[in-house]
Amino acid sequence: MGYFSPQPFIKQGGVIMKNNIRVERAIKNITQADLAEQVNVSRQTINTIESNKYVPSTVLALKIARAFGKPLEDVFMLEEGD
């Protein structure tokens, strides 16, 4: 991580973006690859979003929420980082 990280926006102003994708996937019983195909990204991207290594763009976040049929804030939420 740090300067060589491909993702500089994980933590902004002490706030971290978390998500429930893993849980939601389990509820709908779909794999990372299925979800990736639904929202037109690679499996790697879904994987890094799930493990909080990559913050998706607003468009992608909305698409993912729509894929689960839930409002955005049920899937993505802000948390105080440390």
Quote the CA–CA distance of 29 and 38 in Å, as a whole number: 14
Q: Counting beta carbons within 10 angstroms of the beta carbon of residue 19, is it exposed (0 to 12), middle (13 to 18) or buried (19 or more)?
A: buried
Minimum CB separation of residue 57 from another protein in Å reads 5
Residue 1 or 80: the one with the smaller Cβ distance to another protein is 1
How many residues bind to another protein according to rule CB under 8 A?
17
Q: Counting beta carbons within 10 angstroms of the beta carbon of residue 64, is it exposed (0 to 12), middle (13 to 18) or buried (19 or more)?
A: buried
Under rule CB under 8 A, which residues in 21-80 are in contact with another protein?
A: 36, 40-45, 47-48, 51, 54, 56-57, 60
Residue ranges in contact with another protein by CB under 8 A: 6-8, 36, 40-45, 47-48, 51, 54, 56-57, 60
